């Protein structure tokens, strides 16, 4: 016979799984966002040109539709025989594609967007916004178990559950 703690933990895990499945079903029933990028590798100063394909299945009250470039520092530390992972957002740049509005059921539109990968300009790369961000991150890292992960996110911030899509990219310094 199992202890009551086992049944409580199993019940909580079961409810969590049901909640996650329900969330994704509801999100799927509202519509979708798809990101399209010509390439996923960029250099400082490049333009990230892409398309965001928004399709709604139900009426959605949108607060805003946007695309963003996000840099996250991922640090793994090993203590007491365990691995701990920490995620810290170190860079974010957003561009608005639509302000607040109603998106009717059956709406479909493809939005073009352009995000700038910060460049060094006429000076050294470490003087650019990106260089300063990366320099700060490298100073904070202090070890070889850290990396910076970059992604493009398209999101319809909406009443209720948001619609979103993400693509990982590479920025070579």
Q: What is the pLDDT of residues 55-104, one digit of tens each?
A: 999 999 999 999 999 999 999 888 888 888 999 998 899 999 999 999 99
- What own/partner pairs with CB < 8 Å and gap ≥ 24 does 114-117 have? 114/47, 114/48, 114/49, 114/50, 115/47, 115/48, 115/50, 115/67, 115/68, 115/69, 115/152, 116/45, 116/46, 116/47, 116/48, 117/42, 117/43, 117/44, 117/45, 117/46, 117/47, 117/48, 117/69, 117/171
Q: Which residue has the tokens 């949108």?
A: 62
Q: Judge whether residue 140 has pLDDT over 80.
A: no
pTM greater than the 0.85 cutoff = no
Q: Mind listing the domains of the chain with CATH numbers?
A: 31-171 (2.60.40.640)
Q: Judge whether residue 156 has pLDDT over 80.
A: yes
Q: What is the pLDDT of residues 15-33, one digit of tens each?
A: 888 888 776 666 566 799 9
Give the other-Cβ count within 10 Å of 102's Cβ.
10
């Amino acid at each position: 016979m199992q202890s009551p703690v086992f049944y409580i933990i199993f019940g909580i895990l079961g409810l969590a799984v049901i909640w996650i499945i329900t969330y994704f079903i509801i999100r799927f029933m509202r519509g979708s966002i798809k990101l399209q990028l010509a390439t996923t590798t960029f250099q400082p100063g490049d333009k990230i040109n892409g398309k965001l394909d928004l399709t709604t299945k139900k009426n959605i009250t949108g607060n805003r539709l946007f695309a963003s470039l996000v840099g996250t520092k991922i640090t793994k530390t090993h203590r007491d025989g365990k691995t701990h992972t920490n995620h810290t957002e170190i860079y974010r740049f957003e561009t608005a594609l639509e302000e607040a509005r109603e998106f009717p059921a059956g709406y479909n539109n493809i939005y073009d967007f352009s995000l700038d990968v910060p460049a060094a300009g006429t000076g050294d790369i470490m003087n650019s916004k990106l260089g300063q961000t990366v320099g700060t991150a490298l100073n904070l890292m202090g070890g070889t178990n850290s990396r910076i992960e970059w992604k493009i996110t398209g999101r319809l911030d909406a009443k209720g559950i948001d619609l979103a899509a993400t693509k990982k990219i590479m920025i070579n310094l």
